[in-house]
Amino acid sequence: MSESDLAAILCSRLCHDLVSPVGAMSNGIEMLLEDDDDDAEMRHEALKLVEMSAAQASNRLQFFRLAFGAAGGMIRTIPIAEAEKAASGLFDGEKLKLQWESTGGEFSKPAIRLLLNMILVATETLIRGGTVSVSMDRSGGETTFAVRAEGQGARIRAEISATVEAPVTVADLEPRTAPAYLARTLAESLGGRLSLRIGGNDRIALMTTVRAG
């Protein structure tokens, strides 16, 4: 399989994550079109559904633009605040909380993509909700990224864990494992190695130390 196959897998992942909010938006519009003018409550609920779903779809697109795409065109670095904003939008309306520790500054595009894909992997371990904590420590030309997930029943799927910890080819990928593959390969391209730690009390951590970029 080629890079175009990886692009196709990422497109499938993007479409999968947009189906729900776009479908809900469509349902809300359908309710408005069929709404009886006298049913103000129904119209209000339909408008709320459309508004919420549109915001969710927009937030996910903004996140994936940074995580999967070439955001910023020829610009080589991206403010970490922009990555935080994208991650916060992804969590909006979900059963997840985001804790972000950063001193600001900018990172290279690959470093930002690495961090956001680590976050995406972490969110998928919290089926019942919980907290994702993000921290970064710059020192001596290197940066340590740490993303920790904590919540009841936190669990990482075996295929995702295998993708993080062992070399795999694009031929082995599916939309669910693509973020883990991207995170691992991006860490390696920046001179690091992505590690996975599974602890007690429903905690999972992804960590790597890379060139600051």
Dihedral sign (CA 131, 122, 155, 92): positive
Taking only the tens of pLDDT, the chain with its 213 residues reads 467 788 889 899 889 889 988 998 888 888 888 766 667 788 888 888 899 889 999 999 999 999 998 766 667 899 999 999 999 998 887 789 999 998 789 999 999 999 999 999 999 999 888 999 999 999 888 999 999 999 988 999 999 999 998 888 888 888 999 999 999 999 999 999 999 998 876 899 999 999 866
Confidence at residue 74, expressed as pLDDT on a 0 to 100 scale? 64
> How many domains are contained in the chain?
1
DSSP class of 29: H
115 lies in which domain range? 3-211
What CATH number does the domain containing 74 carry? Answer: 3.30.565.10
- Whether the full predicted model's pTM is greater than 0.85, yes or no, is yes
